[in-house]
Structure 1
Amino acid sequence: MPDGLIHFTPRSELNGHANVSAFIKLCRHAPVLNAHKQFDENIWETEKTRKGKNGVERIVFNTLEAAKGAKHLPALPEPFVSFAKAVIVYLEDKRPVVSQGPRLSALRCLEAALRENARDRRPTAVTPTVLDAAVDLARRNLSDAVAYRVAGALEAIAELMREKRFIRMNTRWVHSVPKPRETGSRIDEASLRARQEKLPSPAAIRGLAGVFLTAMGVADTLISSSATLMMCAPERINEVVRLRRNCIDEGEGRLEGKLGLRWSGSKGAADIVKPIPTKMADIAREAISRLETCSRAAHEIAAWYVHNPRKIYLAKDVEHLRAKKLLTTAEVSQILWGPAGGAAVQWCNKEGIELIKDGRTARVRFSDVERAVLSMLPRSFPYLPGDGPPIRVDEALCVMRKNELHPGRATYECMFDVLEQSDIGSRLGQRNDSGIPSIFAKYGFTEDDGSPIVVNSHAFRHYLETLAEMGGLTDVQIAAFSGRVDVRQNSAYDHMTSDQAQAPIHRATKEHGFMSGLVKAPSRTLINRADFVKLDIGATHTTDYGFCRHDFAAEPCQMHRDCLNCDEEVCVKGEVHKLAALRLRVAETKRALSVAKKALTDHEFGADRWVAHQQKTLMRAEELLALLTNPDTPDGTVITLAAEDQPMPIGHVAPSATTRISSAHQRALK
């Protein structure tokens, strides 16, 4: 079945249950979202990368309660879960979306509403009452903005069910959730609070600086240095974890001596070298240096696997074990965790490795250990996960040995891992309920009121862009500094208060007056009337090359603004911008003459007249250009070229000509 061509037509002779069964059967074998390979699974992995994230999108068919607790279980029950999977597949085929989140949440709320209304979790039992209950659940469990999107997804699902005759509903169901009010104002209190919540608190910034200065160990150094880089430039967290080891750029040309970092673009933006503010340059260098140092061991392992993807990495002190076919559990422990050791027997049992009894000693095959270790390679190997350009793991800056971030687990000496956004976010306090302590709590930093510091990694980006707005950068400069394609998105990161936005205006008007600095008046040099009369210029009008002294009040222009071929054109030597316009006209006339000559060669009608006109114009333009560029001619000299074959003014037509024209007309009339 070709992707994008799923179409289900309900059969009128079948009831809702039979049509639902046929619908599920159709979608079960569809290639959309790889449904034909994983339809019976309750956790799907798609091939779509999450926009602005590293890693692929996962679809978890769990209940509303499980999703709220960030758990995979319990899963949605049958028969609803099969229907939910089919709906996701069918809607993705008809109307692809970036994220399945709103649709999944809508289906979870719908299943919970069926439970609340004792409807036996059958899709065919959905009614307007159940749909209203699902909307109510969304409003109680989700934020206003998310609930509005989920209600919209519920409306689309309800219309699909009505159209395909899964349920009996005569009219279209429409949700009643109002669109949440935008919080873009700088004035009202609610908007100001919403803006401030997107920024890191002063205590969080001080705490990050303190942790960066005192961090001990690989885990804390990795997290604090990565977060510090987000304070040096407004980067997304997924761009930080995709930094290359050779990311430092010393600058050249006008940026020579200015530190820059090479960032991999995301969300449609290209790769870019961003200059680091001078005040933060030394801090950025130190952060990069620390990341290189603490990831050196992991980088060596990653480089080994890039060049030897089918061989296990062995440290120097256990390299001799590669020649052995059978290993003792002590040797397995040494390969996996080094001198620190670990529970090798439990690890073998977990990995399904056969223990071969040799008297009292248990041995395992080297090949089995190698196979189990190689299965730990990141699924995106040999590249980093993410939606940006491919970056090999041995080029990455943010790598670590497996389990190196977890103090309660033994660190693998033979396997590496890549730093993920969740690794940083959870250690900035975003997942306090997960049991992972934040780096702020670990080093004794709290908010000013004593509460734990919790900061979103994206808050640093909001903070730096707000500083850029306050510093007077233009929208184009801020978008470039942030690696953003659409300049209009800048407004979402501008969190200046009304007073901050008006401060530059107040400061300027207070110091220099209301109109100062707004418009710079051009300087003008005036001459007296007697000198102007000597110039023999009556009425004057500016032209591309000088001034026109034709009196338009007496009659219109007889040359149709062909100024170069007119004897009323006046040029003044020394006007740079008009000299540039004349040079451009010479070049354009040469091109036009070349085209006219080609047309003449091709015997096009009227080409001879164009050749003559362009030759005449080019001759006069070059003559005028020679006079205006002659070093012997002083600046300020007024130059007028004599012109031949000037048209006779309409009001001054000779009587003989009038007579001839009249006679010709008379003969024509006769």
Structure 2
Amino acid sequence: MTEVFDSEPSEPTNNIVDFKPRNQLAAEAQLVAFIEWAKQTLPKGIPNRVHASIRWEDDSWHPHGFKGCSFTALGSTKVAPKAMQAPFTEFAKALVVYRRVYLQKKSVDEWLFALRELEAVLFELTGTRDVTRVSAAVCSTACEHMNRQWTKGNTAYGISKALEAIITLMRDKKLLKSDFRWTSPLKLKPTGTLKQQRADREQKLPNPEAIKALGEVFNNELTRPLDIVVTSACALLLSAPSRVGELADVELDCLVFKEDTQGNPRMFLRWYAEKKNQVMLKPVITPEMEPVVERAITLLKPITDEARAYAAWLEDHPDEFPPHEGLPSKGPDEPLTYTEVCAALKLSAGNGPRRRFNAKFLKGMEKQKALSPVARALLAEIRDGWDSSAGRRIFVKGRIESYEFDDRCVITLRKLNVLLREKYLPKDFPYTTPYTEGKARVKYRDALFTVRTGAMAEDSAFVVTHGFGVEIAANTKRMNTQLGGTNDPTKKSLFERYGYPGVKVNTHAFRHELNTQMHRAGLSQLLIDAFSGRTTLGSVYNHETVEERTQRVADYHPQTKHSTAAQRLEKVKTNQPLNLIEVRELREGEQDRIIHLTPYGVCVHNFASEPCPKMGACLDCGRLGCVKGDDVKLSNLKEERDDLKRRLDKALDAQSRGLFGASESAKKLGEKLFKCEALIHTLENPELENGAIVWNADNGWTLTKNAAAMSGLIEVKLIEESQAQEALPSLNDVLALLDEIEG
């Protein structure tokens, strides 16, 4: 789950002012003002956040730049759709505007899931859909519903945290009749068990037979454009760990060569990394894959060159009708006859009454929800002035010679050009993907996978003859259909067409496969994340088996089972006395004595010489050692992390309200949370040997120094950096960590 917990934008849109509640207004009036603010703010997101076609009253904003945004009620399906009910719908739309347009967050789906649950439970408990009456009881009941609905994984937890963020926003904007603080009662489910690892491996890694089959098909004499696109896209995804959606931003000129340490040229791909939101150079995973990449580009270029040139013409001539062989020789503003209109649109005029233009073009446009105001006005002009009757028959010598119509509008190539581009071109044209803050975007004229609309038709019966549009050939839907098949027996997957029945593969499985192979090759997680274009730890992509990891450790240390670390872990788990000499290999110079056990690990402080100088603040102390494999103390650390998170949330809330001392409290709690999370990440690293000791970093604070500073005797710098200790995080680091923990 992602982007649930962030509540403030890094850089809000310049021309949008945040909604400021008025203290003297009641909650109902605040809600009315908030909704009105959202209605005024929505158009300000054009064109960067939303499309110009958007209208407040639409039931779905998905076609207008809000991905996955449909205002449906809980339990709604495609077969039996159910809409949110007023007045809750207005509130839901206002929240979506706040998140997408003002906060500039891409994802709104988790907020919508939370809102659907909230609407259902609010009506169940109060009999109304008045959101100002939301209470802690309503929120907790909604969480119970979530837990029953989403039993697998941490989906319910993520949506409950989205609800928590919504309640926080409602409190800040004074939209609640009764102010209350609420925290989700749902907890993250434990992950990483052997059973889950095996299930993940089976589910997420590709079938070896599928990769073998793709290689065999790829090396055939391919002539069908669809087969070339699918196999070439798979070749690129198997050359560098990437996502299928990133193929839209791969340019034709994507190859870069650099010399390695031995002076040999190595191939890199210029690739847009979705998670990093930037272009990077990805090295092709092995030299053996470099000819595969070159072959893929060689195969793709001839079938995409014409579409790229066409996309360039469309971009360079926005006011001209696209040229083609049957286009009438008329000026852009000269009136067109019905026959000329059909010729321009590549429609058959027919011999009878002029119905083709109406049936094949106008009606199709009327069904489109995402029409710009200009296109909507032109369509209304034609509809109002177009004689849609069968016409008055003109007879010559007793036979129908022609039809006469009473038209009050003039159709020209300029008007048709506006409608044609609206109907057939992608909403983000000339760019291949929607706008994202700071993203270097790729145009269709430069994209490797640009094709004409309909060029990839799977069946000749469905070939699009007009071809006025452009699209990305290797899109997610087409790739999933070609590699995974459909329930339609008339449509065969790539594997079925080439004689591999039953073989399927998911495109994201290639990314998991390459990440796992890099782990097997001994690359560090940091390098693998950089190689894969990730900003966070991607250990979930590592599907090495326990046996493989065990064997690797055994190869390095054949006596693993009888190692000091294993004996030390056994003593810690059974609460046997542990001598300091048993950790001496990591703490030279200490004496042989019984050491102290803490809730988080072991403590090497000598209590015989002085009491604890930190008064039990273990997470601030460099004498705390955490033992890998001690599940009880790892669980204690996680409980401490959750408690620190709750306390930090309260401190940040107090800081936002300007309370005295809140900033210092938030700073200290953030440092502790950062430390705690770092220890947990390290102790959960499968590469670390069980029984190994992870030493905490000391922040330099003691009771003595604190007392001296308060007495004014000495000036104390509480947080010190040394060569042996890492620098403590900034508040920005801590906030970023919170997003990662909760996300």
TM-score of the alignment, normalized to the shorter chain, above 0.5: yes
Deviation at residue 256 of structure 1 after TM alignment: 4.8
Query: Matches of residues 301-380 of structure 1 in structure 2 within 5 Å?
Result: 301-315=310-324, 317-318=325-326, 321=329, 325=334, 335-336=344-345, 344-350=357-363, 351=365, 352=379, 359-360=402-403, 365-375=412-422, 376-380=424-428
Deviation at residue 26 of structure 1 after TM alignment: 4.1
Aligned to 2:645: none
Give the one of 175, 197, 206 matched to 2:184: 175
- CA distance in structure 1 between the aligned counterparts of 2:224 and 2:317, rounded to whole angstroms: 29
C-alpha distance after superposition, 1:32-57 (max 9, x if no partner): 8579984434434799xxxxxxx774
Deviation at residue 107 of structure 1 after TM alignment: 0.4
Aligned to 2:680: none
- CA distance in structure 2 between the aligned counterparts of 1:320 and 1:250, rounded to whole angstroms: 48
Residue 451 of structure 2 aligns to a residue whose secondary structure is strand
Instruction: Give the conservation status (yes or no) of the 8 Å contact 1:229–1:284.
Output: yes
Residue 262 of structure 1 aligns to a residue whose secondary structure is strand
Deviation at residue 81 of structure 1 after TM alignment: 0.5
- Quick check: 1:25 aligned with 2:36? yes
Query: Matches of residues 409-428 of structure 1 in structure 2 within 5 Å?
Result: 409-419=463-473, 421-428=475-482
Deviation at residue 269 of structure 1 after TM alignment: 4.2
- CA distance in structure 2 between the aligned counterparts of 1:343 and 1:226, rounded to whole angstroms: 38
- CA distance in structure 2 between the aligned counterparts of 1:430 and 1:125, rounded to whole angstroms: 47
- 1:436–1:368 CA distance, 2 compared to 1 (3 A): farther
Deviation at residue 114 of structure 1 after TM alignment: 3.7
Instruction: Give the conservation status (yes or no) of the 8 Å contact 1:207–1:440.
Output: no
Give the one of 242, 250, 258 matched to 1:243: 250
Aligned to 1:138: 146
Aligned to 1:501: 549
- CA distance in structure 1 between the aligned counterparts of 2:186 and 2:224, rounded to whole angstroms: 50
Amino acid at match of 2:326: V
Residue 390 of structure 1 aligns to a residue whose secondary structure is coil
C-alpha distance after superposition, 1:172-223 (max 9, x if no partner): 344322212233x5xx212331244222222432343355456653334323
- Quick check: 1:395 aligned with 2:446? yes
Aligned to 2:107: 99
Instruction: Give the conservation status (yes or no) of the 8 Å contact 2:240–2:282.
Output: no
Give the one of 74, 81, 84 matched to 1:64: 74
Query: Matches of residues 129-528 of structure 1 in structure 2 within 5 Å?
Result: 129-142=137-150, 143-158=152-167, 161=170, 169=178, 172-183=181-192, 188-213=194-219, 217-249=224-256, 251=258, 256-266=264-274, 267-272=276-281, 274-315=283-324, 317-318=325-326, 321=329, 325=334, 335-336=344-345, 344-350=357-363, 351=365, 352=379, 359-360=402-403, 365-375=412-422, 376-386=424-434, 387=436, 388-406=439-457, 407=459, 408-419=462-473, 421-428=475-482, 432=486, 437=491, 439-440=493-494, 442-443=496-497, 450=502, 453=504, 455=506, 457-484=507-534, 486=535, 489-507=537-555
Residue 492 of structure 1 aligns to a residue whose secondary structure is helix
Amino acid at match of 2:69: I
- CA distance in structure 2 between the aligned counterparts of 1:109 and 1:493, rounded to whole angstroms: 32
Query: Relative contact order, CA 8 A, sep 6+: which one is greater?
Result: 2
Amino acid at match of 2:429: F
- CA distance in structure 2 between the aligned counterparts of 1:330 and 1:459, rounded to whole angstroms: 52
Instruction: Give the conservation status (yes or no) of the 8 Å contact 2:230–2:479.
Output: no
- CA distance in structure 2 between the aligned counterparts of 1:397 and 1:70, rounded to whole angstroms: 38
- 1:94–1:435 CA distance, 2 compared to 1 (3 A): farther
Instruction: Give the conservation status (yes or no) of the 8 Å contact 2:336–2:412.
Output: yes
C-alpha distance after superposition, 1:224-276 (max 9, x if no partner): 32122101221222332211112234555756554443323442444315235
Amino acid at match of 2:161: G
Deviation at residue 329 of structure 1 after TM alignment: 6.2
When Rg is computed on C-alpha atoms for both structures, the one with the higher figure is 1
| Length, aligned pairs only | 492
- 1:86–1:220 CA distance, 2 compared to 1 (3 A): same
Amino acid at match of 1:24: I
- CA distance in structure 2 between the aligned counterparts of 1:247 and 1:89, rounded to whole angstroms: 37
Amino acid at match of 1:246: D
- CA distance in structure 1 between the aligned counterparts of 2:154 and 2:33, rounded to whole angstroms: 35
Residue 238 of structure 2 aligns to a residue whose secondary structure is helix
Instruction: Give the conservation status (yes or no) of the 8 Å contact 1:33–1:46.
Output: no
- 1:327–1:167 CA distance, 2 compared to 1 (3 A): closer
- 1:223–1:139 CA distance, 2 compared to 1 (3 A): farther
Instruction: Give the conservation status (yes or no) of the 8 Å contact 2:146–2:156.
Output: yes
Residue 381 of structure 1 aligns to a residue whose secondary structure is coil
- CA distance in structure 2 between the aligned counterparts of 1:307 and 1:235, rounded to whole angstroms: 32
Q: Which runs of 5+ in 1 are unaligned?
A: 48-54, 516-670
Amino acid at match of 2:508: H
Judge which range, 138-147 or 33-42, deviates more.
33-42
Q: Which runs of 5+ in 2 are unaligned?
A: 1-13, 366-378, 395-401, 564-743
Amino acid at match of 1:483: G
Aligned to 1:40: 57
Aligned to 2:596: none
- 1:163–1:469 CA distance, 2 compared to 1 (3 A): closer
TM-score of the two chains, using structure 1 as the length reference: 0.62
- 1:402–1:421 CA distance, 2 compared to 1 (3 A): closer
- 1:348–1:314 CA distance, 2 compared to 1 (3 A): same
Aligned to 1:8: 21
C-alpha distance after superposition, 1:351-404 (max 9, x if no partner): 445768793499964334333223233333333325441323211111111133
- CA distance in structure 2 between the aligned counterparts of 1:361 and 1:441, rounded to whole angstroms: 55
Amino acid at match of 1:76: M
- CA distance in structure 2 between the aligned counterparts of 1:476 and 1:278, rounded to whole angstroms: 22
Instruction: Give the conservation status (yes or no) of the 8 Å contact 1:196–1:495.
Output: no
- CA distance in structure 1 between the aligned counterparts of 2:442 and 2:179, rounded to whole angstroms: 54
Deviation at residue 494 of structure 1 after TM alignment: 1.7
- CA distance in structure 2 between the aligned counterparts of 1:481 and 1:99, rounded to whole angstroms: 25
Residue 281 of structure 1 aligns to a residue whose secondary structure is helix
- 1:244–1:27 CA distance, 2 compared to 1 (3 A): closer
